[in-house]
Amino acid sequence: MKRYIFTLSLLLILTSCAGGGISTPNEDKFVSGNGAVIMIAKNDRQLAPILNGATLNGLTFQGASNKVTIVNVWASWCSPCRAEAPALEALANKYPEVQFVGILTRDNLSSAKAFVKRFALTYPTLTDDAILLKFHGQLMPNAIPTTLALDKENRIAARISGEITVLALENIIKKLLAE
């Protein structure tokens, strides 16, 4: 019963993120976070789902093991997603030992490909947002954008709900790399 309620709640959150459906999203009708950062103590973390699947460029992505991973949930029509994209790419370049991966949600592939090209994003983006339903427990994606940080043991260590700041995400990355 808990799983059913969780799944229903997550679906309600995700379906409230855009107004007109996948092909005609409405930028003023989505759940946007406030940039709040939540960090989980090392001993209290729960496992994240395995990240794998088709990417925007048609390849298959398989998540790296024993690596800090930054997961960014985004959509091309989302203003905060556009604002944070250059910072995410800069951090991905600054920390090549960290795996960055996007998860596209509530968007169409052509718009998403144009977004990736515009911001010159080099990290992969998964196209099946059903993986978001597998994130449950302490921290799950709850807004667009949401950025999750996974530790080297593939456990959810932190969440930024809303647009990231370079300082906040870099502090999380440094902390997880030092563990």
Q: What is the per-residue pLDDT for 34?
A: 67
pLDDT digits (tens, 9 = 90+) for 31-79: 456 678 999 999 999 999 999 999 999 999 999 889 999 999 999 999 9
Q: What is the CATH number of the domain that holds 162?
A: 3.40.30.10
Establish whether the linkage from the previous residue to 49 is cis, with ω within 30° of 0.
no
Q: Into how many domains does the chain fold? A: 1
Q: Provide the pLDDT for residue 140.
A: 85
- Average pLDDT score over residue span 87-111: 98
Strands 156-161, 146-150: parallel, antiparallel or unpaired by DSSP?
Answer: antiparallel
Range(s) of the domain holding residue 70: 2-178
**Beta strands, E only, 23-178:** 36-39, 52-54, 60-62, 69-74, 99-104, 125-126, 146-150, 156-161
Mean pLDDT value across residues 19-38: 52
pLDDT tens for 104-119 read: 999 999 999 999 999 9
The predicted-structure confidence for 117-163, as pLDDT tens digits, reads as follows 999 999 999 999 999 999 987 788 889 999 999 999 999 999 999 99
pTM of the shown model: 0.82
